[in-house]
Amino acid sequence: MTIVTMTTDFGDKDYYVPSIKGAMLTRHRQLNLIDITHQIKKHDIVQAAFTLKNCWHCFPEGTIHVISVNNMGGDRNRFLVTVYKNHYFVVPDNGLLSLIFPTLPQVAYELPFSGLSIEPIRDVLAHAVGHIVKGNPIETVGKPAGDILQRLMFQPVTSQTQIRGSVIHIDDYGNVVLNITRTLFERVGKNRAFKLFFKRHDPIRKLSRHYNEVSMGDTLCLFNTDYLEIAIHTGRASEMLGLKVDDTVQIEFAP
């Protein structure tokens, strides 16, 4: 039974998601449909990419990942099908692929569609999934896509003693995720003492391993998956500290 994941900004109050699922099942009844989330902020491809890049690799090879967020965000009005590390991805050509992967897949195929309503989106997604599940050659799903739209995210700025980064995500607990990876932190920090500055709050001076390493209500930072996170033990850091997406932070390491 083929696994098909879905990541969308459709929400769960309308008929959009079930109509897409129904169209997929009509083409192939033996599907294991997994909802990653339908609560992506409307048109927010950065949030969609962050969510998917942190979970797609947890699924078995052969999984089909369907993403429908900001479908009209590009100039080309098309969906793409591509393969990356034996996973299939069906996405709008709006820059999502460049935000999910460190390097763009070498080959992608175009699935043109017309119209802004759910019907053409439903049909093109169901067609792509049905084509893959039936074992048809991926290169026959559509014509070669050529150039894929790329979007750039703000990257941390570094020096020998500093990292200047930004907030890229607020999770449902109010934890604040930064665009500073463990690899970057360790490469610049070299095991030196540090201070993490944000807004006008007192800096964080210690890297925690767990949320409960500090007292309830205290602020901490730790690596959750691969990204540095600012949190408050049993509190909502984003609200209590006044942090939001795109706010800047700075880490200063001892000379």
> The CATH number of the domain where 83 resides is what?
3.40.50.10790
Domain assignment of residue 69, yes or no: yes
One domain for residues 61 and 176: no
pLDDT of residue 76 exceeding 80, the answer is no
Quick one: pLDDT at residue 183?
96
- 111 shares a domain with 22: yes
Q: Please say which residue of 92, 113, 144 terminates a domain.
A: 144
What are 207-228's pLDDT values in tens digits? 999 999 999 999 999 999 899 9
150 falls within a domain: no
Q: At a CB cut-off of 8 Å and minimum separation 6, what does 191 contact?
A: none
d(CA 135, CA 62): 11
Instruction: Kindly report the CATH number assigned to the domain that includes residue 204.
Output: 2.40.30.90
Amino acid identity, residue 225? T
Looking at the fold, whether 27 and 108 belong to one and the same domain comes out as yes
State the pLDDT at residue 115. 59
Q: Please indicate, yes or no, whether residues 29 and 129 belong to a single structural domain of this protein.
A: yes
Q: Are residues 138 and 162 in the same domain?
A: no
Residues 181 and 131 in one domain: no
22 domain-assigned: yes
Out of 104, 121, 144, a domain closes at: 144
**Neighbour count for residue 1 (Cβ, 10 Å):** 9
Same domain? 140 vs 194: no
Task: Determine, yes or no, domain membership for 72.
Answer: yes
Alpha-carbon span 240 to 231, nearest angstrom: 10
Q: Give yes or no: residues 201 and 112 share one domain.
A: no
Whether 114 and 14 map to the same domain: the answer is yes
Parent domain of 40: 2-144
Condensed to tens digits (0 to 9), the pLDDT of residues 184-204 reads: 999 999 999 999 999 999 999
Rounded Cα gap, residues 255 and 97, in angstroms = 38
- For residue 154, pLDDT over 80 is answered with no
Residues 124 and 164 in one domain: no
Number of domains composing the chain: 2
130 in a structural domain: yes
Is there a single domain that holds both residue 140 and residue 161? no
Average the pLDDT over 144-156 and give the result: 87
Express as a percent the part of the chain with pLDDT over 70.
Answer: 97
Q: Per mean pLDDT, which of 37-46, 109-118, 143-152 is the most reliable?
A: 37-46
Residue 211 placed within a domain: yes
Write down which residue in 117, 144, 171 finishes a domain. 144
* Pair 166, 139 in one domain: no
Residue 149 included in any domain: no
Could you list the beta-strand ranges (E) of the chain.
Answer: 2-8, 31-37, 64-68, 78-84, 87-92, 108-112, 143-144, 157-158, 162-170, 176-181, 194-198, 207-208, 219-224, 227-232, 248-253
Is 140 part of a structural domain of the chain? yes
